[in-house]
Structure 1
Amino acid sequence: MKLPIIDIIVIIAYMLGVVLFGCSFYFRKRSADDYTVGGGRLPSWAVGMSIFATFVSSISFLGLPGNAYMSNWNGFVFSMSIPFASLIAIKFFVPLYRKINSVSAYYYLETRFGPWARVYASICYLLTQLARMGAIMYLLALPMNALFGWSIPVIIIVTGICVLLYSMMGGIEAVIWTDAIQGIILIAGALACLGVLIYAMPGGATEMVAIASEHNKFSLGSFGSSVSAPTFWVILVYGLFINLQNYGIDQNYVQRYMSAKSEKEAIASTWLGSLLYVPVSLLFFMIGTALFAYYQTQPQLLPEALKAEGMADKIFPYFIVNGLPAGVTGLLIASIFAAGMSTVSTSINSSATVILTDYYKRFFNKRATGKQSMKVLYITSLIMGIISIVVSLAMMQVKSALDAWWALSSIFSGGMLGLFLLGVVSYKVQSNHALVGVLAGIVAIAWASLSPKLFTDGLWLQFQSPLHANLAIVVGTATIFIVGFIVAILAGGKKQTEQERKERELKMK
């Protein structure tokens, strides 16, 4: 399928503009502190927009409309949990990170449980980011390949190099400011798409709502008590835990808390970034529902191949190319790239920061000079970017990249969140107690997420988890917390005093 010249110009102008703008920050950096937290001088609105853009990936941009088209608004329950998770984060985690004044999200774990906890959590984070970057770039390439015949490896490599260039050269300032721009572009693109859909609907918005209501498209899912189906409650609990992990302990977000000018501005940026996602995700669900109504009234506009089961995710990309005016199509494709690039650039910068603070400066060179630190940041950004491209290319061999990403993120995320909560809630839990909890939690997460795929017949069938896959993080987090706490009680755990915590911090320095 051939794009009009104006759409090609819009896409090329967007890609070049973002890369050049991001790279321009190379000439403004003066230290590793500038590279990792922007010197702590970035305005709250830009930090908030960056948090929002990081949260919205190309998976969200393409997946949510497809989900709404295929079923209903059950997935929106995930977004409804965000305000609750954000409230917990700004009450406990944001003040904690600002108080300890460390750019690393995992520094705190060492003050509580020792070096192993910091290494464990940071390794989980790095592996998760590699899987995340790989999945996002691969899933970004799929619709472009299906629509235009563009080579998947070429799309992955070009996108990866573009993101790597500006995130490596410009540091966190480039990431945050480009994220802010990309966030505005993707919102504008989504609004333009919904506007065109409603305008093109024979009966307008009234007809769209009537058709959607008739087919129960606005349903938030079953309110039953089943734990094996994606009910309202299962998605709400899953969303609460995964969003608490995102806004509470994820390096991508913690780094932004530290880049704000003050604790007050860090809190404001967290509210902006998290609460903005709720109406925007609603916008994506509206697009999916509008697409359903649009093609219900005009079925002749949809090819027979896309009417088959399992093709819902391709409906939105098809409409972008065939149902939008020239120029707007380019804007929407740029929006899809914006959603993916903003997430990947954040992961590259934050991963390099973790390697510098949690490994190089902690174990190899505690008195690293500014020049040495910058060299490590450049090299590790480059390495993480290249590996993410390789992982993305490897995803071409996986049956379902999205399923692979969900399985990996469930295992790593659950362990990290449980350990953090154990450290924050109870100071009686010591290092060995936490280690027992983590080991038990990893086993529980592996059982909840992998047993349905491994134990499929015979005697093994009885060992299958009866829980929905989304509850793996809930099971893991609860297991780590409960087991660690019980072991501490049985062992007569002694509460860690503030003095002991400070002494440990001094030893680390």
Structure 2
Amino acid sequence: MIMNEFGLLNWVVLGAYLCVSIGIGAAMGRKVHSSSDYFLGDRSIPWWAIGISVVSTYVSALTFLGGPAWAYSEGLSVLAIHLNYPLVIFFVSCFFLPFFYNSGVASIYDYQEKRFGPASRVVMAGVFLVSQTLTTAAVLYATSLVLEFITGIDVTVCIVIVTIAAMLYTLMGGLAAVIWTDVIQAGILFAGAFVIVYLLLQQMPVPLGEALADLKSRGMTDAIKTDLDINKVTTVWSGVIAMTLFHITIYGANQMMVQRTLAAKSIGDAKKSIMMMGYGAFFIYFLFILLGILFYFFYQGREFENGNTIILQFAAEYGFPGLLGLIAAAVLAASMSSMDSALNSMSTVSTIDFYKRFFRKDADDSHYLKVSRGFTVFWAVLIIVPALLFAKSEGSILEVLSKLGSYFVGAKLSMFGLGFFSKNTTERGLLVGVAAGFAVVWWVATNTDVAWPWYAAIGALVNIPVSYIASLLIDGRQEKYSEYTVAGQRELFSNSGRPVKEGNWFVIPGAVDKQSYGLLVFFVLSVCSLLAFNYMIG
């Protein structure tokens, strides 16, 4: 291992990062006086900080290390499954955010109860807690493996250290601490990435143009692959169709992502914050994936025992003072920006959707604040358990549980889609559809070679018609649209005379802001730029 070469300077860099994160939590903790402050801050956080938090929450340690590792074997085509973000954010800002922001609540699953009933709320909140526990544990385990590789500290100890650090500042400062530490963590993450890119280009044996020409001859620079094989993950159809549906659930129907936008000052700030991902994702993933193919040239396709260690291997070989400490801090920042968000959102859902809903409906706010912090500790401790199980496995459990998380994506997408647009879908029919969709996705995942990005589309294609038909058979046709559908909201706004805009931004669901059309233009430009990039390489 690299522990003997880690050195004092690297430990100072890593230690300073941890101290700053915990210090921010302590500072933000002074502003937390209620459970609302803990869940949503004091609604004074600027939109750009919320936007950076949204970006850094999804760009985890798995992206920092796994992106280059995946591109090392598959080439620039890996970028295809990330082209969809402008389309995703277009739909999320148009339909999802107005419903959640107008409700004034901290939990997005409150919408499920208003639209369908308490059972659907409990089901989706429960699915979120289970899937988020497993996902966060996977990120925690992957990060701890990296820290073990860099520092030599046992992976079990690393799991505990990372968890305690993230828990402490989240516990003290709530969502505000999560957002502001995410801003710092994003800076460290991208500083680490840019330093690696710069040093790698400095070490290249030939100019960049020659390296790219060589990579093109090996088929590594073609990002737009039009194969119609649904068994392949990295095709443009998988990215634009399947992964658009997948990511809509990640950004529109995921408490962890939506909660920080609910902390914005206005609907306009909420939409601007999430649009940061719509415009920024292309450049972020291009950076990490380009890094992967450049490493492929630098190491001439050499096989690594673990592809996720390529960046670490390069940093160790280069020997730049403090570089390993910066990379360790970047990996830790990437992980903790995902983990702190998970802990805060899981605490929110546990308190609002379960504890307050079923156990103590009328307690004072100071009680709910204490309960929220208690749930933060509870989930931090619980997440350690599957992370330790991953550490004792040979990887098969990690693979199975990672796929399991994608089984529920179709159900989430369908529940919100039917909620927004369907008049006749009822709670009992919806739950029948969720069960049917999950069963079909399970069968497809275990009996076919269909690539996992298509699970969301398959689940939705089963869930939607089954839910609709089951609703008609069980409860019959409904007389009118629910108040919590797009049509119902339009009628509500019309009858009440309420303005449909707040400043230059629509507050009514289903209305497209003129600013959102830029996302569609950017999507077309990003596809064209990748085609041009490959064409122009000599």
User: Relative to structure 2, which stretch is displaced further, 329-338 or 380-389?
Assistant: 329-338
List alignment gaps of at least 5 residues for structure 1.
300-306, 452-463, 503-509
Matched residues in 1 for 2:196 and 2:180: separation? Answer: 25
Q: Which residue of 1 aligns with 2:308?
A: 313
Q: Which residue of 2 aligns with 1:304?
A: none
CA deviations over 1:280-320 (Å, ceiling 9, x no partner): 11100111111112223xx9xxxxxxx43653222222112
Q: Which residue of 1 aligns with 2:410?
A: 414
Q: Which residue of 1 aligns with 2:500?
A: none
Matches within 5 A, 1:274-423: 274-296=278-300, 307-308=302-303, 311-323=306-318, 325-400=320-395, 402-423=398-419
Q: Is 1:479 the counterpart of 2:482 in the alignment?
A: no
Say if 2:304 and 2:310, in contact at 8 Å, map to a contact too.
no
Matched residues in 2 for 1:351 and 1:396: separation? Answer: 23
The secondary structure found in structure 2 opposite 1:39 is coil
Query: Cα distance 1:203–1:271, how it changes in 2: closer, same or farther (>3 A)?
Result: same
Q: Is 1:494 the counterpart of 2:478 in the alignment?
A: yes
- Amino acid of the structure 1 residue aligned with 2:469: I
TM-score, normalization by structure 1: 0.90
- Amino acid of the structure 1 residue aligned with 2:477: G
User: Relative to structure 2, which stretch is displaced further, 221-230 or 106-115?
Assistant: 221-230
For residue 490 of structure 1, report the CA deviation from its aligned partner: 5.2
Q: Is 1:45 the counterpart of 2:29 in the alignment?
A: no
- Amino acid of the structure 2 residue aligned with 1:339: A
Q: Which residue of 151, 154, 170 corresponds with 1:151?
A: 154
Matched residues in 1 for 2:165 and 2:114: separation? Answer: 38
Matched residues in 2 for 1:394 and 1:402: separation? Answer: 9
Q: Which residue of 9, 17, 20 corresponds with 1:14?
A: 17
Query: Cα distance 1:21–1:500, how it changes in 2: closer, same or farther (>3 A)?
Result: closer
Q: Which residue of 2 aligns with 1:438?
A: 434
Q: Which residue of 73, 78, 81 corresponds with 1:78?
A: 81
Q: Which residue of 2 aligns with 1:460?
A: none
Matched residues in 2 for 1:330 and 1:238: separation? Answer: 38
- Amino acid of the structure 2 residue aligned with 1:200: Q
For residue 476 of structure 1, report the CA deviation from its aligned partner: 1.1
User: Relative to structure 2, which stretch is displaced further, 408-417 or 101-110?
Assistant: 408-417
For residue 188 of structure 1, report the CA deviation from its aligned partner: 1.4
Say if 1:107 and 1:118, in contact at 8 Å, map to a contact too.
yes
The secondary structure found in structure 1 opposite 2:33 is coil
For residue 403 of structure 1, report the CA deviation from its aligned partner: 1.5
- Amino acid of the structure 1 residue aligned with 2:236: F
Query: Cα distance 1:191–1:429, how it changes in 2: closer, same or farther (>3 A)?
Result: same
The secondary structure found in structure 2 opposite 1:108 is helix
Query: Cα distance 1:9–1:499, how it changes in 2: closer, same or farther (>3 A)?
Result: closer
For residue 477 of structure 1, report the CA deviation from its aligned partner: 2.0
Matched residues in 2 for 1:367 and 1:273: separation? Answer: 38
- Amino acid of the structure 1 residue aligned with 2:433: G
User: Relative to structure 2, which stretch is displaced further, 258-267 or 421-430?
Assistant: 421-430
Q: Which residue of 2 aligns with 1:426?
A: 422
Matched residues in 2 for 1:285 and 1:371: separation? Answer: 47
Matched residues in 1 for 2:168 and 2:147: separation? Answer: 22
Matched residues in 1 for 2:349 and 2:306: separation? Answer: 39
Matched residues in 1 for 2:480 and 2:115: separation? Answer: 8
Say if 1:157 and 1:389, in contact at 8 Å, map to a contact too.
yes
Q: Is 1:198 the counterpart of 2:193 in the alignment?
A: no
User: Relative to structure 2, which stretch is displaced further, 492-501 or 125-134?
Assistant: 492-501
- Amino acid of the structure 2 residue aligned with 1:494: Q
Q: Which residue of 1 aligns with 2:238?
A: 234
Matched residues in 1 for 2:253 and 2:416: separation? Answer: 7
Query: Cα distance 1:119–1:208, how it changes in 2: closer, same or farther (>3 A)?
Result: same
Q: Is 1:257 the counterpart of 2:240 in the alignment?
A: no
- Amino acid of the structure 1 residue aligned with 2:97: V
User: Relative to structure 2, which stretch is displaced further, 145-154 or 50-59?
Assistant: 145-154
- Amino acid of the structure 2 residue aligned with 1:234: S
Matched residues in 2 for 1:404 and 1:55: separation? Answer: 21
Q: Which residue of 1 aligns with 2:188?
A: 185
Say if 1:257 and 1:266, in contact at 8 Å, map to a contact too.
yes
TM-score, normalization by structure 2: 0.85
Query: Cα distance 1:121–1:500, how it changes in 2: closer, same or farther (>3 A)?
Result: closer
Q: Which residue of 2 aligns with 1:172?
A: 175
Matched residues in 1 for 2:109 and 2:319: separation? Answer: 46
- Amino acid of the structure 2 residue aligned with 1:439: A
Query: Cα distance 1:5–1:179, how it changes in 2: closer, same or farther (>3 A)?
Result: same
The secondary structure found in structure 2 opposite 1:103 is coil
Query: Cα distance 1:499–1:196, how it changes in 2: closer, same or farther (>3 A)?
Result: closer
Q: Which residue of 224, 227, 230 corresponds with 1:224?
A: 227
For residue 144 of structure 1, report the CA deviation from its aligned partner: 2.7
The secondary structure found in structure 2 opposite 1:203 is coil
Say if 2:312 and 2:327, in contact at 8 Å, map to a contact too.
no
Say if 1:54 and 1:343, in contact at 8 Å, map to a contact too.
yes
Matched positions, count: 480
Q: Which residue of 2 aligns with 1:117?
A: 120
User: Relative to structure 2, which stretch is displaced further, 159-168 or 313-322?
Assistant: 313-322
Say if 2:47 and 2:273, in contact at 8 Å, map to a contact too.
yes
Matched residues in 1 for 2:305 and 2:219: separation? Answer: 19
Matched residues in 2 for 1:115 and 1:21: separation? Answer: 37
Q: Which residue of 2 aligns with 1:273?
A: 277
Query: Cα distance 1:324–1:78, how it changes in 2: closer, same or farther (>3 A)?
Result: farther
Matched residues in 1 for 2:75 and 2:39: separation? Answer: 41
The secondary structure found in structure 1 opposite 2:262 is helix
CA deviations over 1:422-449 (Å, ceiling 9, x no partner): 1112022112221221111111121122
Matched residues in 2 for 1:207 and 1:13: separation? Answer: 40
Query: Cα distance 1:44–1:475, how it changes in 2: closer, same or farther (>3 A)?
Result: same
- Amino acid of the structure 2 residue aligned with 1:378: R
Q: Which residue of 1 aligns with 2:135?
A: 132
Q: Which residue of 2 aligns with 1:457?
A: none
Say if 1:448 and 1:471, in contact at 8 Å, map to a contact too.
no
Matched residues in 2 for 1:41 and 1:448: separation? Answer: 46
Matched residues in 1 for 2:61 and 2:359: separation? Answer: 37
